[in-house]
Structure 1
Amino acid sequence: MIAPRSWLPTPVLSLLLLVVWLLLVRSYAFGQFVLGGSLAILIPLLTHRFWDARPLIAKPFALLRFIFRLLGDIIIANFEVAYLIANPWRKLKPHFIEYPLMLEERFTITLLASTISLTPGTVSANLRMDGKSLLIHALNVDDEEALIKQIRERYERPLKEIYEC
């Protein structure tokens, strides 16, 4: 008997691929289930060796807190950006910031960069080749050091705690 992990390395991804396939073809015919199921098994099977290993989540409740904090920050930042755009008399101060990283794992750095880009008004522009700093563009910066401190305390330290890097 074949062990399930050897032929299905990522079952959640396989299920997601099957659902996306069925939604794309807009058909639930048996043949589409067979074709979608085959692709859902073959794609992860052929590509999983190219993926980086993800670090284990050491503190799941800290991850839950992080997600809720991020969702709240996204909502608040949407209102702030809308206010900035709706008030043309207010002078914006866009700025590129060199953010020094404490994180070293590629996965957690990617999570931090994605978190920064998800929050309206900020975008992760570039990771330096040495992996020691992240270039961030912010829509309105009054104090560069305050923004660096805010990102470190609200996002980077919790990620470091969640994954114990």
Structure 2
Amino acid sequence: MNRFLPYPLLSLALVATWLLLNPPLTVATAFLSVVVGWLVPFVMRALRPEAVRVRAPGTILGLAGRVLGDVVRSNIDVAKVILGLRRGARHTGFVSIPLDLRSPYGLAVLAIILTATPGTLWIQYDSNTGRLLLHVLDFVEGDEWVRRVKDRYERPLMEIFP
């Protein structure tokens, strides 16, 4: 059955979705839903990513707490900037960060963390050089952003995703 129908639940979901989105129920739509439900899982099998190996559950919890705190603090900081409550000049800018992290899953989580944190945005990652281009709302000169990303996020992600 696995060879004929690689992902039976996906096939069933596709057939049901197709039938719900294409009323009224006719022989043609039923036939087409079965064809789509049978063929799409074969494409998914070809795209199947490698298995995820996650380690250090304690590090995961620590990272989750750190990210939650950073998101709350960044929301407050960005709100102050937007409402004009922060004194002094605000400088936006781009930071180039050399990453040692190479795991695709780790990089995906890092992209989510950085983009979900208000005031930062993942712009580009060059896999050949391992450099990340990050846009920050509150830019400071020096290596503060490089150290922040590497110490707060990259190190724990390298423990979690070997």
Give the TM interval when normalised to the shorter protein. Answer: 0.7 to 0.9
CA distance change for structure 1 residues 53 and 92 in 2, over 3 Å: closer, same or farther?
A: same
Number of the residue aligned with 1:56:
53
Whole-angstrom distance in 1 between the partners of 2:107 and 2:79: 28
CA distance change for structure 1 residues 144 and 64 in 2, over 3 Å: closer, same or farther?
A: same
* Cα pair 1:84 1:90 within 8 Å, conserved: no
* Cα pair 1:94 1:138 within 8 Å, conserved: yes
Output the amino acid matched with 2:7.
Answer: L
CA distance change for structure 1 residues 80 and 40 in 2, over 3 Å: closer, same or farther?
A: farther
Given the alignment, which residue of 105, 108, 120 partners 1:107?
105
Higher helix share: 1
Query: What's the secondary structure of 1:130's corresponding residue?
Result: coil
Matched, 1:7 2:9: no
Larger CA Rg, structure 1 vs 2: 2
Query: What's the secondary structure of 2:111's corresponding residue?
Result: helix
Whole-angstrom distance in 2 between the partners of 1:39 and 1:69: 43
Output the amino acid matched with 1:159.
Answer: L
Output the amino acid matched with 1:47.
Answer: M
CA distance change for structure 1 residues 3 and 153 in 2, over 3 Å: closer, same or farther?
A: same
Whole-angstrom distance in 2 between the partners of 1:150 and 1:48: 39
Query: What's the secondary structure of 1:98's corresponding residue?
Result: strand
Number of the residue aligned with 1:65:
62
* Cα pair 2:67 2:113 within 8 Å, conserved: yes
* Cα pair 1:104 1:131 within 8 Å, conserved: no
Number of the residue aligned with 2:150:
152
Unaligned runs of 5+ in 1: 26-34
CA distance change for structure 1 residues 134 and 38 in 2, over 3 Å: closer, same or farther?
A: same
Matched-pair identity in %: 26
RMSD: 3.7
Output the amino acid matched with 1:52.
Answer: P
